[in-house]
Amino acid sequence: SGGPDYGIPLGRRDGLTFATVNATLQNLPPPFANATTILSMLATKNFDPTDVVALSGGHTVGISHCTSFTTRLYPTQDPTMDKTFANNLKVICPTVNSTNTTVMDIRSPNKFDNKYYVDLMNRQGLFTSDQDLYTDSRTRGIVTSFAINETLFFEKFVVSMIKMGQLSVLTGNNGEIRANCSVRNADNKSYLASVVEELPVEEAWSDL
């Protein structure tokens, strides 16, 4: 989609359990959160304001359900939202409980670029958690710098993504190295057996 290429540090072990819905929601700022909430939540994971703004830039691609932002439209419109942008969203989401979806970046929805930040500067951020990054004085300058300089955004996004990938790393005998990234080894015994049977002993050991 046009985003930056970067090397991912190797060696991280996989967990033996999958996150519950509640645990996931507790660790992800909701779309209606303001900058203070987002900065506070992510500060507990050692993310600074630049990390927060850079990671939010992932919203340059993807879609959102209406229910994630219609409280900004109904019953009264959020004054920080551009009027034309709001009117267009009301066509897509005619009620507060609409089940429709819309793109998160109106300028280049299918390209990973810095246009998300240009959206924010034009009061066209979809979520409160997006637009408040430009409203809040602690993050406004960072938004502006990324809107002006896409290379800077890419550089900071890479740093923050690698940083996020190193949260709560399992070491030693904790976790496992999965044969299939999306399936725990305990649920994947037939796959492991077939790999071992098909390879010479030395190669099988090196692969595992």
CA distance 178 to 96: 43
Q: pLDDT tier at 206 (50, 70, 90 boundaries)?
A: very low
Kindly report the number of other CB atoms within 10 A of residue 104's CB atom.
Answer: 21
Contact between 146 and 54 under an 8 Å Cβ cutoff? The reply is yes
Smallest CA-to-CA distance from 154 within 124, 104, 120, 111 is with 111
Identify the residue with better confidence: 34 or 173: 34
Q: Amino acid letter at 126?
A: L
Q: What is the mean pLDDT of the chain?
A: 90
Contact between 131 and 120 under an 8 Å Cβ cutoff? The reply is yes
pLDDT digits (tens, 9 = 90+) for 153-178: 999 999 999 999 999 898 888 999 88
Provide the pLDDT for residue 101: 98
Structural domains of the chain sorted by starting position, each given as residue range(s) with its CATH number in brackets: 21-194 (1.10.420.10)
What six digits make up the tokens of 87? Answer: 């009117």
Distance set, CA 97 to CA 8, 33, 82, 90 (Å): 40, 19, 21, 12
pLDDT digits (tens, 9 = 90+) for 48-58: 999 999 999 99
Provide the pLDDT for residue 196: 46
Q: Residues comprising the binding site?
A: 29, 59-60, 105, 113
Smallest CA-to-CA distance from 121 within 139, 109, 100 is with 139
Kindly report the number of other CB atoms within 10 A of residue 116's CB atom.
Answer: 28
Burial classification of residue 186, based on how many CB atoms lie within 10 Å of its CB (0-12 exposed, 13-18 middle, 19 or more buried): exposed
Give the global pTM: 0.84
End-to-end Cα spacing for the chain: 33
pLDDT digits (tens, 9 = 90+) for 64-122: 999 999 999 999 999 999 999 999 999 999 999 999 999 999 999 999 999 999 999 99
Q: Residues comprising the binding site for substrate?
A: 29
Contact between 65 and 101 under an 8 Å Cβ cutoff? The reply is yes
Provide the pLDDT for residue 203: 46
Q: Residues comprising the binding site for Ca(2+)?
A: 60, 105, 113
Q: Residues comprising the binding site for heme b?
A: 59
Provide the pLDDT for residue 186: 80
